[in-house]
Every structure is written in C-alpha cells, then in structure tokens.
Structure 1
Amino acid sequence: MKIFSTILLIGLSFFAHAQNKISGKVTNQQNEPIFGAEIYLDELHKGTSTNEEGFYQINNLPSNTVKITVVFFGYETIIKNIQLLEKETVLNFVLNEAIFKMDEVIISTPFNKLQSENVVKVERASLQQLKNKGAATLIDGVGTLPGVSVVSTGVGIGKPVIRGLRGNRVLVYTQGIRLENQQFGDEHGLGIDESSIESVEVIKGPASLLYGSDALGGVLYFNPTKFAELNKFDFNYNQTYFSNTDGSSTSFGVKKSYNLWKFLANGAYNQHSDYKTPKQGTVTNTRFNETTFNTAIGFNNSKLNSTLRFNFNNSKVGIPEEIGVQNNHKTPMLPYQDLTTKMVSLNSIFFLPTSKISTTFGYTLNVRKEFEEHEHEEDEEHSENETLNPSLFLNLNTYSYDAKWHLPKLGEIETIVGIQGLYQKNENFGKEILIPNATTKDFGTFFTGLYNWKQNTIQAGIRFDTRNLTTKQHLVTHDNETHIFEAIDKSFKNISSSLGFKTVLFDKIISRFNIASGFKAPNLAELTSNGVHHGSNRFEIGNSDLKNEQNFQSDISLEYNTNHFEIFANGFYNHINNYIFIAPTGELEEDLFIYEYTQDNAKLYGGEIGWHLHPHPLDWLHLSSSFEFVIGKQNNGEYLPLIPANKLTNTLKTEFKGKNWLQNGFGALTLESNFKQNNISEFETTSSAYNIVNIGIGGTLKLSKYNFDISANVNNLFNTSYISHLSRLKADGIKNIGRNIILNLKFEL
C-alpha cells in the first residue's frame, strides 16, 4: 500500500502543470437544451452533466486526444475523439432520439469503441439492468446474459460459464486487475459485491491476446463504480429484501469530486438463511453472509490521470450436504468456508504529445479457510477446535503489472504494444493440504492494431507468453494415510493471435467475423492435487504431465437493426487441444470417490439467436426472444461435463413515465424455458426440462431534490420444482430455489 501511495504522490508532484478545458451545449434536433445529459471521459474517470440551459464544462484536461461520450436516456449515444490543441475548446452536441436502444462504450476491448463499432461482439449490462431482472446475487445477474450460465451450489456459491467453458478458462477482471482467488474451485463464489460495480462486460471466446493465460474461454470484465460528477457530492443508500432466504442486502456509498481530486467509498453487508425449495423444505447450510468495503482516490491534470483503489471482501459460506436441519439461522454450520480477498490497484495514464501510456499495478491477498466436522465423540474442546482451526488454510499473494503504449495514430490506423505479468505465491497453513506451496511467474508481451475505412474495420494482433511454476515436495499424513506432493518445476510457453473483420453487408447488416487462438497453462490444482477436497466431497489427484490447452475459435456475428426491430445471430466453433478435465476413477480413498485430472482434444460449438421488437406507435412496448445452445464433445465422441442445457428466453417489457415524478418506469414478464439435457458425460445424469416465470416492476421516483429507485420482482412465480443441469447439488437430488420475492429501495442524495 505504501509503495502505491508513494508512486501516486511522486507522479502528482511531477505532473502539476497548466490545464485545458472543454465546454459547450447539448441540444436535441429541435434546438432545445437537454438538462441532465452525461458528459464523460472514461479513461480520465471524469465527467459532468448539463445544466438547465444544456451547458457543460470540464477542466483540467490533457493536451492530447481524448475520447468523450455524451449519454442521455432516450437518445443516441455520441462518442468522439477530440484533439485538445487549445487551452479552451468549445464543442456542441446535437442528440438524435433513439427510441429503440442506447449504444455503449466498451472498456474491455483494446480500443474502447462503441458496441456498434467493435470488431468483437461484447455483451454489456449495467448493474441497474441486472437488478431490474431481480437477480438475487451479482453472478445470477451475469448468468442472464446471452451465452453465459452459472455453475451453482445453492444461492451463495456461483461461478460463470461462457459457452460451455468455466473455471480457470474464464478470466475475471475487476478494478483493472485480474481476480486471483483460487478460482480453480467451483465451490466458492466470485468474491465481488455489486456495491463496487458499475457495469459488466462479457467477451465470449478467446481473449488471450489482451489478457494472457486463463482467458481461453472468455472474460468477465467488471467496471468499477464511477466517481461523482465534477464538484459534486453524492450519497446513496440501498436496501434489498429476499423472501425465500429471509435475506437482506444493505449498502451505502459516498462520492465527492473536485477539479483535481476525486474520492469515493462504498460498503455492503449481505446475509441469507438456507434457501427453500418448492417441495423439499430448506436446503441445510446453504446460508451465507458477506461483508464488503471499497474505496478509491483519483487525481488528474493535463499530463496524468491516476486512480488508487482498495477493495475488501469477506464471505462465510456454508457447504451444503443434505436437506436436514430446518431453521432460519444465518450463521453457517460446519462444514463452511471463510473467504477473504483484499485488492489494491493503481491505474495511471500518462499523456505524451501524440500518444499515451497506461499502466496498472495490482496486489491481491486471498485467504481461503475451510472448516469441517470430524467424526468423534461430542465434547466442547473438539467443537471449539473445529471452529477455530481450519482444516484447509490457503494464502495466495499475487503481484501484477500491465503497461500499454497507445502509439501515435497514423491516419485511420491505431496500434498498441504492451507487456503484462504477475508474481504469485501460494502457502498452506492448515493441517490438510489440497495443493502444495508454490510460486508462479507469468510474463507476456503483445502487439495489436486496428484499421478503419468507410464502414469496414480490421483488427489483428499477436502475443507471446511464458509461465513458470515451481513447488516443493510435501509429505502429508492424515488419519494414518500419507500423501506425497512431488516437487515440480515446469515452464509453459505459448503464442496467441487474433484476426477480426467488421463490415456492413447490404448497407444494413452489421457483420463480424473473427478467428482467434487462446491458451491456458495447467493450474496448480490440475498438476498437483493429492487429497480430500471437502468443498467438492471427493478425493482429487493431479497430473504433473499435463500440457497447455490451446484453442482455435471461429466466430460470426450478424445484426440487423431498424428503429423498431432488431434480429441477431451469433455462431461459434471452438476446437481445444489438450482439454483438461477431472473424471472419476471408480476407486475410493478415505471413503470418498477418487477423481483424477486428465486431458483429451475437445470441441464446442453453438451460438445465440434472437430478436427484439419495439413496435411503432407503441413506444412503451418491448417484445424480445433469444435462444442459446452449446454442444461440447471430447475427441473420442464422449460429451464434456457441465455443458448448460439449451435455453429459450421470452420477455415482454413495458416502459412508462409519470410526468415529473416518475422516470425510467418499467414492467417485465419473462418466461425462461430450459430444455432437457441429454448430452452428458459418462459420470453425469440427464436433466429434465423446466419453465420458470419471472415478473418485475419498478422505476425512479423523484420527490423534491431526491431520487428513490424502487423495484419489486418475483422470481419463479409459480414455485416450480426443478434442478438445473449446472447445479452441484444435482447429484444429491436437491432442487433449486423456489419462489423468491425481491424488494429493493435505493435512495440518492
């Protein structure tokens, strides 16, 4: 923390120079001023909004090219690259009405284009959009996006699945750095709370070119909470109630921005009891609670923009095993996990005369403890030891760096060269060892470029990565059994590349064609596991001979848009060499089935197709439908495990306003149809088809100077009894959550 603070202060004192400013007016096509339009510069984390005359002004800007975005609900988003050559620049905007949908700037791709301009199709949703769907948790909300599913253990534990790929193949980014929290395990959650999130972006397919190893399947990119508008103070309080789990979520946030400095702080506390099924009662020990705090400080002037962020997350999550004790307690029982993640990141942009350099330095400490119940005679001493002394105790320290040089623009050619890397140390302090003490070193360098002409864009890049992983030999004796963790010293190297082309066919159809290669080096669990994994209720054995996974994916995306109708079709074919998976051996160890890591070539293919109708003159009505499917097979013809079932989602949505007192009102009815899953691996069982109906209503109430965002959702309206194919409780015949009424109130000052 001291190192990052010192770097920031040195930078601030060195770059204190004169400032540029930009100002202007925002109007509609009738030349009427627009009050409340948001003017934002994403890379500077800086913005303001127009006053009643439509006027705006932003000071302390660099003498460089900046990307400015103008957003107002119901109008088309404007994004422009502005070269600030003068001390004062006047720039006016005229917004066109957009009754269909708003375009968005995508941060997770290298050149930060609008969604409609991107070579790669990226799914994006704001936090508010996810909350309007009635998602019980952040990961549940992400799972509603096309092509994304969730492997879950009850309500509190969920991991993303992108087009059939999960675990270490899906990289998670938050506050600009990769999240490292022993993500090889399916039995714990993300460790990110919605209070620190502004929006989420999902790259479906290999993104190793920009993000390195572990982005073979895709990337979840969480954009952090924005700072307040210039010279403003914001306060918000959010309260949510969940009927099924008798749960609650309480959060707050404060923000303040000055000309040079910006501050914010957010906190949240969530607690839930065991979830109720429609017919079986409550699922014992699916209870959990979570505490989150994050804060940030930002500085910018004409030469430098820096943001220092800190995030703390602690969750105590029960590990369910059966439908047993029936109560509404919220403190997890044995066995349970205690997970703590602390993250510090320093993001900086240095503005040079014709180019810019962006850097990110990060530190993450992840502490993972598992407490289990042993077989012994009941007494106070044993009970206290089980509560105080974890069976599994892992410390994961990760230092990361990322530097990109956005080279001077040559006509319509934009290029970036960069380096990335991390140093990671894993240590054990518990009496049981699942993976040994280890050190991991990553280094990567890449180049990518983009060329625009007329309605066409081509983007390409290449990258080289190396990973070194070393461990020491461990002998672990437990219950008269000795397990040996052999020492390893392995290096993995890889070259990744991508080529994408975007064009407009027949002057109407936005078309994207991409081919890309990605890779994933074997992780520590896959190489070295040799012990009981209580979170998975199995004995796991690693394989030190595993090789890199390398994939080659082709992707096509077609979109046809008018003011009142949209239809899209996305298709992909993904071939993976040396696909790593865990499979049962049929043998027992310590009364648990043995699972061993192995690999085989594999292929996945599928896609998403859908339409969205916004009929004229019924501007308040939206009808949409989407269908998504994935098929995954090994080279020998066997199906891959945990491939999501085909899903059809139909939504009827209305939008309404109440003159001056109600804004952004909505009502929604969704029918989610999950098909029977017969394409299963040899150690899975089929899953039955089921239909879930969700409803919701909400909006923003304006009372005097205050805003109240309110919503009411009912998920699983008819209390349907079902088991998701991706539920880790499926093997025990335990049903998913029943009807859940979610009430939310957010107050802004």
Structure 2
Amino acid sequence: MKHIFNVLLFLAILPIYSQNKLEGIVVDKNNQEPIPSANIYFPQLEKGTSTKENGSFNITNIPNGTHKIVVTYLGYETISLNVSFPDNTMLNIEMIPSVIEMEDIIVSTPFHKLQSENVMKVEQKKISNLNAEGAINLSNGISDFAGVESITTGLGIGKPVIRGLSANRVLVYTQGIRLENQQFGDEHGLGLSSSGIESVEVIKGPASLLYGSDALGGVLYFNPEKFAQSNTTNADISANYFSNTQGFNSNAGVKHSSDNFKFLFRGSVAEHADYKTDAYRVTNTRFTEKDFKAGVGYQATHFKTELRYNVNNSKIGIPEEIDEPSTLVTPLEPFQQITNHVMSSKSTIFFNNSKLDVNFGLTYNNRKEFEEHHHEDEHEEEHEEEHDEHDEEIEKIEEATLHMKLKTFNYDVKYYLPEIGKFETIVGAQGLTQSNINYGEEVLIPNANVNDIGMFATSHIHFTNADIQLGLRFDNRNITVVSVLDKNFNSFNGAIGFKTNLSDNFIARINLATGFRAPNLAELTSDGVHHGTNRYEIGNENLSSEQNFQTDIALEYQTEHVEVFANGFYNLINDYIFLSPNGNEIDGAPVFSYLQGNAKLFGGEFGFHLHPHPLDWLHFESSFETVTGKQENNDFLPLIPANSLTNILRAEFETNTLKNGYAFIKLKSTFRQDNVSNFETPTNSYSLLSAGFGGSFNLFNNEMSFSLSGTNLANSTYIHHLSRLKPDGIFNMGRNVSFAITYSL
C-alpha cells in the first residue's frame, strides 16, 4: 500500500504535459439559437462547466485519450458522445427539443453510461425530487422506486428491500465505497442522511460480478453531491418542516473549486417527535440526527483525487407499545445511539487511452442500545418534561446493554484497458478486512474478524444495433471467531447481458447473472434472546453460502409523447437462509432457528408515461409492481412486499417570476397481502393520496426554491406489510404536510 501512495504522490507533482483544451458552442438544432446555462460534463474526469449567454464553453486540463462528454439542458434530449484528444479541440453541439426527462450518467456501473446506453437496467432518482414528494428520510424516500420497499420500525429505522430481498442480501454504497454498519440487525437502518447526497441508483438483481458477496439481491448506490464547477463558489441553506411529527430537517453547505483544488462542507440536523395516526401518537418513534460531510479534491491533467468524510450521529427510539401522547424528541428507553464514520479516498491516474482507479474506504460503526429501566417517578404525567431531562442525565451514566464497534477497511482497484476495436474491458480487485468487538452487558454476536478478496474482469462489446456485456469473478470470504469457528466461503460468479434496439423506439434487454452471499455472523453464531424482535435465536455454524441465478428481461418503448416499460425477473436461490420457529420457548421467548432450503422469487414492474401533444407540460405516469417468494416446499417466504399500483398526474410550468414550477397528485394503492409465511399475518389493502407543488424564484438576486407537499392526505389508517409494528396492530403514519425552502447564497 505504501508503494501505491508513493506512485499517486509522484504522479500528482509531475510536470503537466498535453494540457488539452476543449472549446465549443451549444445551439438549438431547429433554430440555431445559442443555449445558455447548458451543462457540459466529463463523467470520468468529474469536471465540467456551463455555457455562457452566447452558448459557448471551454474546459481545460484534459488528458490525452478518448473521454465521454455529456450535455444536458431541461427541455432537450441529453447528448452523449466520445471526444478524443489531442485530436478534438472545438465542438459544435446541436440539441434537440424534447419533453422527455433528461438522462443522467449511471455511476454504479463501471462503464458510466447513460441509462439508454446501459446493458444492465439501472434506475436513478434525484434526492431533491424524493424530498419534494414528502420523504422524511432516505429509507422513506427509496420506496418511491418501483420494486423497492423498506422494512420499517417506526420512522427512524428502515431497511431497504429490493424485489423481496433485504438485509445482507442488499448492498449499500456511499461515497464510492460499500457501507458496513451492522446491516444484518433487524433493527438497524441505513445510517445515512439525505443531506449532501445528490442521487440514488438502484440495481435490481444479483450484482456480485461488480461488488462481490452481499450483492445477491441488488445494490443501492448513493452518489454524493458534486464539487462546484471550476472557479466558482456555491453556498446554500435549507429547512424542511413536517406537520405530523412536528419535526424539521435543516442543512447548510458551501463549496468552492479552482482550476486544481476543490472543497465542500455540509452539516445538517433533524429532530422528529412520535408520529401521529388518526387515532394516536406511536410512542417512542421519535428520533434525532446530526450529520456532517466534508470533501477535498485535487485535479491535474493526468491525475485526480478526492477525500471525503461523513459522520452521522443518530438517537432512535424503539417503539414497544402505545403510551401517553408526547411531542418530545428525546427518545425513551429502549433506544439506539449510533455513530457512523465513513472516510473514503478515490483517485484516478490517466494514461494514454487507459486509466487506473484506486479507491480506499474506512467505516467505523459505533452501535449502542439501551434497554428500558424503570424509575420511580417515570410515569407521573405532571413531571414529564422534568423526567425527560432526568433521563438524559441517567443516559450519561448508564452502560449500554448492547455496544458493538464494527471497523471495516475496504479497497477497490480497477484498470480500464485501452479500447480494442469494439471492446471496452476492465479488470480489478476488491476486498475488505473487518473486525467486530463487543463492549456491552450483552453479546448479540461475538467478537469476530472477516476478510474478503475478489478478482474480476468485465467487457462491454459495441455493435451497430446491439451491445453485449459479460464478465467473470472469483471471491473468497473468511470468517473467524476465536476458539469458535474459522470458515471459508468461495464462489465463482458470472454475468452476461444483451441490449438491442428492435426499432428506433424499442429497446430490449436480457441479463443473466449469478450471485452469492456468505452467511453473516448472526446466522452462524446466534444463541440468545434478541430483545428487539422478542425471539430466542439459534445460529447454525454449518450454513453454506447462498447462491442464485436470475434472469431479467426489460422492454422499453419510447416516443416523443409516450413511454412504456415492462421488466420481468425469475430468481432461483439455492441454500436460502431463513429463520423458522421450532415450537419451543426459552425464557418466555419463542425459539427461532436458522435453516436453509432452496427458494424462488419472481415478478416485475410494469408501467407507462404519457405526456400528450400539445399539452407537453402535462405528465401522467402509472406503474405496477409485483413479487412472489416461495420456498422449495411451496411455503411462502417472509417479508415479501404486497403488490402495488402507483398513479401520478404531474404538471410542469414556468412564468415570468416562477422557474421550474411543478404540481402533482399521486395515488398509491397497495393490495392485500395473503401470500405470507407460516408465522406472518396477512395485511389488508389500502390507498394513500399525496399532492404537492413547488418551484423557484429570484430573491435578492439569488435563487430561492420551495416545495409544499402532503402525504396520506385522507388520513387513512393502515398497516404496511413490512412494518415491524404490525404484530402489535400499530398503524403507520397518518396525514403529513411538509414545507421546504432552499436559498442559494
């Protein structure tokens, strides 16, 4: 590792040669009028600019080789083209007006394509758009994707579910590195704030070829906010109020970039009281969160690097029963206190027609759980606020019942070979080393060490009307618990995908892929009561790796005014690991054992998007999602989301004073879920109505944006099938109105 850093440092201070410069102009193809403020961006170089009033632009310090450039502007088709240096120095770009929404570069796949160019189906959404529709946090927002849901414990804890698979079967990436934060725990959420995150991408299905173990079900890839464009400074402040929880999210950030150096800082605070239903407030669903993000980068012609750091501290109540209503924000016992530190280093060395990516990451997850302690005066209503302060003092001296520190160092090295004819090829190595240490009164999982290493190669082959992507990977995972077990898990995985244009407007994708997941520490070593779930869990050290094979078919038809899609999948999983009651009780808790058996999941997402002519400002979107999960004996798998249908009517408009104006009405209908496992209960159907509007305008020569949105406007009482409060008959959140403002300085 020392030699790698020496090489990076040496390259950073090399005299700069071949400092290529790109100049050009962007115009409307129909009338040749210049387009000001169009975005010009090199995704692989992570640098760009905006066009001036006359449509011109220039970008300097570009290394030799062929680089993709992306041009975007609202109301026009996104343009993606390859530019070679030192051959190209001047571009005349003609953009075509379109009511179809702009495309962005997909970062989670290694070749950084637009989605229309990708062989693998990946979906992307802006975090700002999710927030504008009333999302309280990230786990709440990601359920806006078709095929994605969350297993929730109130509002503060949410675990992503992709097509019926969750926990360690879904991998989360942030700041370009995999996030390790005790995700195997039933009551452990993402540990990320939406503040300072620009967008999220979802890979549905096995992605072990790209990411190794734990990507068997899919990947959530969170993209941090970009640095400012060269020689600019940006700052903003924002606040968001939520009526239901009487809560708020607020953040402020500043960033600056020169020709070579850049930095950014962002801090945020969130506080929420117990959420309210039509009948009651749900006791101890309150939570608080503090988040800080920072980044610094350096860029020369042949080298770029960036360091990012994120610390997130959250205190989250764990609800157990309905008690006296309260609007306090300090959680009662039991509660979690979690601190996540994420440090990442991402560097790229550019050669002629090739490059080397070197990424390192360090995550430190400090997880504490405090069990309920009864104090003599705790339930006297007239002293509730006094007791809340008293509990804060007690918390300072009480020892955590559960206290675990998980430290993970990971690395990711990729070499992008020079293109040979129609072939783009990447070879790489990824891995991690991890330790878990207990400090609390109780031990949920033992002290242990995990070591991963994986090696892979993947190629993208371009043909005139078709593209093929294929690859192969080998992984080894070692799990060691001193004097208890020493297990090795090995797996070969591969993937092949095919994309073709059946016509000018019709795209078809077929992807076949295998994935695997090594059993986690909880599944191998549990032997005790898990208080959060009120189960006595018994692990099985003889468990083998899960291995799956999935077939995906995606069809997309798109014209200027109509888009239709159909995505179907069939997923076979060998040695699927699951918990099953054995009929016994220990210490008053039912005993659940970890077992294995083959399983299958199948379903898909279907929908269309209509923006009729001449009402190009009007959009109607409809999507349906379904998934079924079964064991080999035809028993249903647990925690499978119910089928749902979402309809959205959206209008986009501008006036002399209002820019980027929009308004929407959304109705999401969730059907009754009768396909349940042996120890689940069915869930009734329900519909949720949402609406909102927003836009931006100039205030004191700066931009002010706002949004007003309401969710569950009919104040329906319902229980989501993946709510962990369902066994107690506790409803999900009722009507909520949120108002957000952002002011750019």
Q: Give the TM-score normalised by the residue count of structure 1.
A: 0.95
Distance of aligned partners of 1:406 and 1:373 in 2 relative to their CA distance in 1, 3 Å threshold: same
Are the equivalent residues in 1 in contact too, given 2:26–2:35 (CA < 8 A)?
Answer: yes
Aligned residue for 1:483?
none
Report the Cα distance in structure 1 between the residues aligned to 2:36 and 2:534, rounded to whole angstroms.
58
Q: Match for 1:252: what amino acid?
A: A
Are the equivalent residues in 2 in contact too, given 1:604–1:630 (CA < 8 A)?
Answer: yes
Of 423, 430, 438 in structure 1, the residue corresponding to residue 440 of structure 2 is 430
Q: What pairs with 1:91-110 in structure 2 (closer than 5 Å)?
A: 91-110=91-110
Residue 494 of structure 1 pairs with residue 491 of structure 2: yes
Q: What pairs with 1:77-92 in structure 2 (closer than 5 Å)?
A: 77-85=78-86, 89-92=89-92
Q: Match for 2:477: what amino acid?
A: R
Q: Structure 1 stretch 553-562 or stretch 95-104: which is displaced more?
A: 95-104
Of 521, 528, 537 in structure 2, the residue corresponding to residue 540 of structure 1 is 537
1:357-396: CA deviation from partner (whole Å, max 9, x where unpaired): 1110111111000011246878999983785310111011
Q: Match for 1:116: what amino acid?
A: S
Task: Tell me the CA shift for residue 97 of structure 1.
Answer: 0.6
Aligned residue for 2:595?
598
Q: What pairs with 1:316-395 in structure 2 (closer than 5 Å)?
A: 316-374=315-373, 384=394, 388-395=398-405
Residue 648 of structure 1 pairs with residue 645 of structure 2: yes
Report the Cα distance in structure 2 between the residues aligned to 1:5 and 1:54, rounded to whole angstroms.
41
Residue 418 of structure 1 pairs with residue 428 of structure 2: yes
Question: Helix, strand or coil: the match of 2:403?
Answer: strand
Aligned residue for 1:402?
412
Q: What pairs with 1:526-605 in structure 2 (closer than 5 Å)?
A: 526-605=523-602
Q: Structure 1 stretch 512-521 or stretch 128-137: which is displaced more?
A: 128-137
Of 702, 709, 713 in structure 2, the residue corresponding to residue 717 of structure 1 is 713
Q: What pairs with 1:228-239 in structure 2 (closer than 5 Å)?
A: 228-239=228-239
Aligned residue for 1:65?
66
Aligned residue for 1:516?
513
Task: Tell me the CA shift for residue 537 of structure 1.
Answer: 2.8
Distance of aligned partners of 1:184 and 1:343 in 2 relative to their CA distance in 1, 3 Å threshold: same
Q: Match for 2:55: what amino acid?
A: G
Are the equivalent residues in 1 in contact too, given 2:169–2:216 (CA < 8 A)?
Answer: yes
Residue 50 of structure 1 pairs with residue 82 of structure 2: no
Report the Cα distance in structure 2 between the residues aligned to 1:364 and 1:3, rounded to whole angstroms.
23
Aligned residue for 2:636?
639
Are the equivalent residues in 2 in contact too, given 1:371–1:387 (CA < 8 A)?
Answer: no
Are the equivalent residues in 1 in contact too, given 2:43–2:112 (CA < 8 A)?
Answer: no
Report the Cα distance in structure 2 between the residues aligned to 1:236 and 1:702, rounded to whole angstroms.
14
Distance of aligned partners of 1:645 and 1:382 in 2 relative to their CA distance in 1, 3 Å threshold: closer
Report the Cα distance in structure 2 between the residues aligned to 1:128 and 1:675, rounded to whole angstroms.
28
Q: What pairs with 1:246-261 in structure 2 (closer than 5 Å)?
A: 246-261=246-261
Are the equivalent residues in 2 in contact too, given 1:15–1:301 (CA < 8 A)?
Answer: no
Q: Match for 1:445: what amino acid?
A: M
Report the Cα distance in structure 2 between the residues aligned to 1:238 and 1:123, rounded to whole angstroms.
27
Report the Cα distance in structure 2 between the residues aligned to 1:365 and 1:605, rounded to whole angstroms.
36
Question: Helix, strand or coil: the match of 2:44?
Answer: helix
Task: Tell me the CA shift for residue 127 of structure 1.
Answer: 1.3
Residue 698 of structure 1 pairs with residue 698 of structure 2: no
Report the Cα distance in structure 2 between the residues aligned to 1:134 and 1:574, rounded to whole angstroms.
33
1:186-205: CA deviation from partner (whole Å, max 9, x where unpaired): 31221111112110100000
Aligned residue for 1:19?
19
Report the Cα distance in structure 2 between the residues aligned to 1:667 and 1:262, rounded to whole angstroms.
36
Are the equivalent residues in 1 in contact too, given 2:242–2:737 (CA < 8 A)?
Answer: yes
Aligned residue for 2:158?
158
Are the equivalent residues in 2 in contact too, given 1:172–1:178 (CA < 8 A)?
Answer: yes
Superposition RMSD on alpha carbons, in Å? Answer: 2.0
Residue 672 of structure 1 pairs with residue 668 of structure 2: yes
Report the Cα distance in structure 2 between the residues aligned to 1:171 and 1:387, rounded to whole angstroms.
36
Are the equivalent residues in 2 in contact too, given 1:336–1:370 (CA < 8 A)?
Answer: yes
Distance of aligned partners of 1:15 and 1:368 in 2 relative to their CA distance in 1, 3 Å threshold: farther
Aligned residue for 2:482?
472
Report the Cα distance in structure 1 between the residues aligned to 2:4 and 2:527, rounded to whole angstroms.
38
Report the Cα distance in structure 1 between the residues aligned to 2:638 and 2:675, rounded to whole angstroms.
9
1:34-92: CA deviation from partner (whole Å, max 9, x where unpaired): 11111112222222111111111111221222221111111111112211115x81122
Are the equivalent residues in 2 in contact too, given 1:269–1:291 (CA < 8 A)?
Answer: yes
Distance of aligned partners of 1:14 and 1:538 in 2 relative to their CA distance in 1, 3 Å threshold: farther
Are the equivalent residues in 1 in contact too, given 2:43–2:69 (CA < 8 A)?
Answer: yes
Report the Cα distance in structure 1 between the residues aligned to 2:467 and 2:398, rounded to whole angstroms.
59
Are the equivalent residues in 2 in contact too, given 1:620–1:655 (CA < 8 A)?
Answer: yes
Q: Match for 1:343: what amino acid?
A: V
Question: Helix, strand or coil: the match of 2:168?
Answer: helix
Of 677, 681, 692 in structure 1, the residue corresponding to residue 677 of structure 2 is 681
Distance of aligned partners of 1:235 and 1:385 in 2 relative to their CA distance in 1, 3 Å threshold: closer
Are the equivalent residues in 2 in contact too, given 1:373–1:386 (CA < 8 A)?
Answer: no
Which residues of structure 1 form unaligned runs of 5+?
474-486
Question: Helix, strand or coil: the match of 2:13?
Answer: helix
Distance of aligned partners of 1:170 and 1:395 in 2 relative to their CA distance in 1, 3 Å threshold: same
Are the equivalent residues in 2 in contact too, given 1:371–1:386 (CA < 8 A)?
Answer: no
Are the equivalent residues in 2 in contact too, given 1:4–1:346 (CA < 8 A)?
Answer: no
Q: Structure 1 stretch 122-131 or stretch 158-167: which is displaced more?
A: 122-131
Q: Match for 1:745: what amino acid?
A: I
Are the equivalent residues in 2 in contact too, given 1:15–1:303 (CA < 8 A)?
Answer: no
Question: Helix, strand or coil: the match of 1:544?
Answer: coil
Are the equivalent residues in 2 in contact too, given 1:238–1:251 (CA < 8 A)?
Answer: yes
Aligned residue for 1:128?
128
Residue 271 of structure 1 pairs with residue 271 of structure 2: yes
Are the equivalent residues in 2 in contact too, given 1:622–1:652 (CA < 8 A)?
Answer: yes
Task: Tell me the CA shift for residue 8 of structure 1.
Answer: 6.4
Question: Helix, strand or coil: the match of 1:200?
Answer: strand
Q: Match for 1:164: what amino acid?
A: G
Are the equivalent residues in 2 in contact too, given 1:229–1:257 (CA < 8 A)?
Answer: yes
Report the Cα distance in structure 2 between the residues aligned to 1:3 and 1:316, rounded to whole angstroms.
41
Question: How many residues end up aligned between the 2 structures?
Answer: 733
Q: Match for 1:249: what amino acid?
A: N
Report the Cα distance in structure 2 between the residues aligned to 1:465 and 1:571, rounded to whole angstroms.
28
Aligned residue for 1:477?
none
1:484-521: CA deviation from partner (whole Å, max 9, x where unpaired): xxx10000000010010001224432000111000000
Task: Tell me the CA shift for residue 134 of structure 1.
Answer: 1.6
Q: Match for 2:719: what amino acid?
A: I
Aligned residue for 1:38?
39
1:696-717: CA deviation from partner (whole Å, max 9, x where unpaired): 1001112353111100000000
Question: Helix, strand or coil: the match of 2:131?
Answer: helix
Report the Cα distance in structure 1 between the residues aligned to 2:525 and 2:8, rounded to whole angstroms.
40
Aligned residue for 1:460?
470
Residue 262 of structure 1 pairs with residue 262 of structure 2: yes
Q: Match for 1:41: what amino acid?
A: F
Which residues of structure 2 form unaligned runs of 5+?
379-389
Report the Cα distance in structure 2 between the residues aligned to 1:272 and 1:382, rounded to whole angstroms.
17
Report the Cα distance in structure 2 between the residues aligned to 1:22 and 1:293, rounded to whole angstroms.
36
Aligned residue for 2:193?
193
Are the equivalent residues in 2 in contact too, given 1:372–1:386 (CA < 8 A)?
Answer: no
Report the Cα distance in structure 1 between the residues aligned to 2:650 and 2:186, rounded to whole angstroms.
34
Report the Cα distance in structure 2 between the residues aligned to 1:415 and 1:610, rounded to whole angstroms.
34
Q: Match for 1:311: what amino acid?
A: N
Distance of aligned partners of 1:34 and 1:704 in 2 relative to their CA distance in 1, 3 Å threshold: farther
Task: Tell me the CA shift for residue 541 of structure 1.
Answer: 1.7
Task: Tell me the CA shift for residue 594 of structure 1.
Answer: 2.2
